[in-house]
Amino acid sequence: MKRPFLKPESYFHTYVDKTDEQALAIADDVWHRINEINLEKHIEPTRNRAKLILKKGENHKIDEIKLRK
């Protein structure tokens, strides 16, 4: 996972010099400003209509797949 951080042209390179605390603060900010809003406005309201559900675990690896008929 370190390779993207080392390439100067990579988006992730901007985080290479951050401390763990700074990185966690940025991640928390992104979650609340973007992901949490998307979850509340778009995902949760349509959840009961989903036909295919992918449950992801660590590192976004798909752990479970459910198909509703």
Q: What is the pLDDT of residues 7-65, one digit of tens each?
A: 888 888 888 889 999 999 999 999 999 999 999 999 999 999 999 999 999 988 999 99
Is 41 contained in some domain? yes
Query: Does any domain span residue 34?
Result: yes
**Does 33 fall in a domain?**
yes
Does residue 24 belong to any structural domain of this protein? yes
Q: Is residue 63 part of a domain?
A: yes
CA pair distance 28, 33, nearest whole angstrom: 9
Task: Please check whether residue 8 lies inside any domain of the structure.
Answer: no
Measured CA to CA, the distance from residue 28 to residue 21 in angstroms comes to 10
Residue 6 pLDDT class (50, 70, 90 cuts): confident
The Cα angle at residue 42 between residues 41 and 45, in degrees rounded to 5: 85
Question: Taking CA 21 as the corner, what is the angle to CA 56 and CA 31, rounded to the nearest 5 degrees?
Answer: 40
2 has a pLDDT exceeding 70:
no
Residue numbers of the domain that contains 30 = 19-67
User: Count of domains in the chain?
Assistant: 1
pLDDT tens sequence across 50-63: 999 999 999 889 99
Q: Which residues contact 16 (CB under 8 A, 6 or more apart)?
A: 5, 6
